[in-house]
Amino acid sequence: MPRISIGIDQSYSGCAIVYYNATTDTAEQAVFDFSPKVAGTGITRLLYVTAALTPHFRMINQLGQVTHICYEGYAYGAKFRREELGELGAATKFALAQVFPNHIERRIHAVAPATVKKYVTGSGRADKDKIMMSVYMRWGFEPDNNDAADAYVLARIADALATPEPPELKFQREVLDTIRKRPAPA
């Protein structure tokens, strides 16, 4: 059965999801538009997000054994739209909990934005262009956009969490050690 890991990068206007199949060393990406123009606002938008993500997660779940899921955590220093981003994050978590109830305690991980950057570039301060380039150079994956690049890195982190062999690069081992020491997200 294929070993699948999922990476999720959510933003105010949308969501990128990448699932990585470690068995075949392939990945697929999906980018969702959750802008108010498409998804509406308030409760309508949250219902739209959950309704869009839940069947996508179910489809991924049928492809193989989903081992770990990583999503980009909040940028706590952000000043704008924090509440709306929190609500979108909750809608995503609700969709995950519906499809992967056995993963909630130890196999769903929030990963800080700087940690995502560090895992692929070695620096937590890398810009989006460097991340896109590093994803391609390191793994040969061509993301559709910056969000998909982050989601791919998150999927690779999720896969590394499921693998007993440590990565070769010291900064990647440091990232995994940090994530493993954190309690499960609430």
CATH number, residue 52? 3.30.420.10
**Average pLDDT score over the chain:** 92
Q: Model pTM?
A: 0.93
Q: Is residue 135 part of a domain?
A: yes
Q: Is residue 147 part of a domain?
A: yes
What is the rounded distance in angstroms from the CA atom of residue 144 to the CA atom of residue 81?
25
Q: Is residue 54 part of a domain?
A: yes
Place of tokens 């990476």: 7
Q: Is residue 73 part of a domain?
A: yes
Tens digits of per-residue pLDDT, 37-76? 999 999 999 999 999 999 999 999 999 999 999 999 877 7
What is the rounded distance in angstroms from the CA atom of residue 34 to the CA atom of residue 52?
9
Question: Range of 137's domain?
Answer: 3-181
What is the rounded distance in angstroms from the CA atom of residue 123 to the CA atom of residue 79?
23
Query: Please, is 33 exposed, middle or buried when counting C-beta atoms within 10 Å of its C-beta (0-12, 13-18, 19+)?
Result: exposed
Q: 180: which residues sit within 8 A by CB, 6+ positions away? A: 161
Question: Are 135 and 144 in contact, with CB atoms under 8 Å apart?
Answer: no
Count the domains in the chain.
1
Residues in a beta bridge with 5: 20, 68
Q: Is residue 186 part of a domain?
A: no
Check pLDDT > 60 for residue 27.
yes
Q: Is residue 12 part of a domain?
A: yes
Q: Is residue 60 part of a domain?
A: yes
